[in-house]
């Protein structure tokens, strides 16, 4: 089974991926953030590095999906999906004028070639978070390269995430509002999430 967590920067995807993996004894796949050669440069100069970053993420995500397809004996939970790359991040960069038409068209050609070989996740978990929550968590984790992320950029991404969640047709999706949650430190908040997942996955 393939389960994936989707959500904006700072929504808590990586933390929840780790916690659910430990709770259910699932294999875990994280987003390629550490060691990413373009991420810091992108936040310093988005126009210069947008295409490079999106291609890097697309390749990384495709490699993960191939690995998931070859693993038939385990449940895998993935931090962020290949769909977010195209329908949220690349689309936002193009619509905002950061990624030029030529680069966006090239990106979509590659994405569409890849996506035809990809199986959809069995379940998406969408972490819904408002801007104050995102900003608070981004500041709390203290990654230097994220200090340049603007509120406007997060707001724009949130709009695309809302549209994505409303129109997603590739499989099951459940939404978890994390604005008033602290599942990393509050066991009762984490239990709310696992109870919801138990009902969705195991019909408990």
pLDDT band with cut points at 50, 70 and 90 for residue 40: confident
pLDDT at 204: 46
How many residues does this entry show for the chain? 204
Q: Quick one: which H or E segment has residue 78?
A: strand 76-79
Q: What is the pLDDT of residues 84-124, one digit of tens each?
A: 999 999 999 999 999 999 999 999 999 999 998 888 899 99
Q: What is the pLDDT of residues 170-194, one digit of tens each?
A: 889 999 999 999 999 999 999 999 9
Q: Is there a binding annotation on residue 15?
A: yes
* CA separation for the pair 124, 175 (Å, rounded): 8
Q: Is there a binding annotation on residue 9?
A: yes
Domain assignment of residue 169, given as a range = 2-202
pLDDT of residue 11 exceeding 60: yes
| DSSP calls for 136-172 | HHHHHHT-GGGTT--HHHHHHHHHHHHHHHHH--SSE
* CA separation for the pair 172, 22 (Å, rounded): 22
pLDDT at 157: 96
CATH number, domain of 139, equals 3.40.50.300
Task: Confirm if 129 and 6 have CB atoms less than 8 A apart.
Answer: no
Task: Confirm if 125 and 21 have CB atoms less than 8 A apart.
Answer: no
Q: Is there a binding annotation on residue 81?
A: no
Catalytically annotated residues: 79
- pTM exceeds 0.75, yes or no: yes
Residue the block writes with tokens 């995807």: 13
Q: What is the pLDDT of residues 121-165, one digit of tens each?
A: 999 999 999 999 999 999 888 777 777 788 999 999 999 999 999
Give the total number of structural domains in the chain: 1
């Amino acid at each position: 089974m393939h389960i994936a967590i989707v959500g904006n920067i700072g929504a808590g995807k990586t933390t929840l991926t780790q916690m659910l993996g430990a709770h259910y004894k699932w294999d875990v796949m994280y987003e390629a953030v550490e060691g990413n050669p373009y991420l810091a440069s992108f936040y310093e100069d988005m126009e210069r590095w947008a295409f490079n970053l999106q291609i890097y993420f697309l390749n990384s995500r495709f490699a993960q999906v191939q690995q998931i397809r070859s693993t038939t004996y385990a449940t895998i939970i993935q931090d962020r999906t290949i769909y977010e790359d195209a329908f949220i991040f690349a689309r936002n960069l193009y619509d905002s004028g950061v990624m030029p038409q030529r680069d966006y068209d090239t990106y979509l050609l590659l994405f569409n070639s890849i996506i035809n070989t990809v199986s959809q996740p069995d379940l998406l978990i969408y972490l819904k978070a408002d801007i104050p929550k995102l900003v608070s968590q981004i500041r709390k984790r203290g990654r230097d390269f994220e200090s340049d992320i603007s509120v406007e950029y997060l707001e724009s991404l949130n709009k695309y995430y809302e549209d994505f969640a409303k129109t997603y047709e590739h499989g099951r999706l459940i939404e978890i509002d994390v604005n008033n949650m602290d599942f990393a430190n509050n066991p009762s908040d984490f239990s709310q999430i696992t109870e919801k997942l138990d009902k969705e996955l195991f019909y408990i």
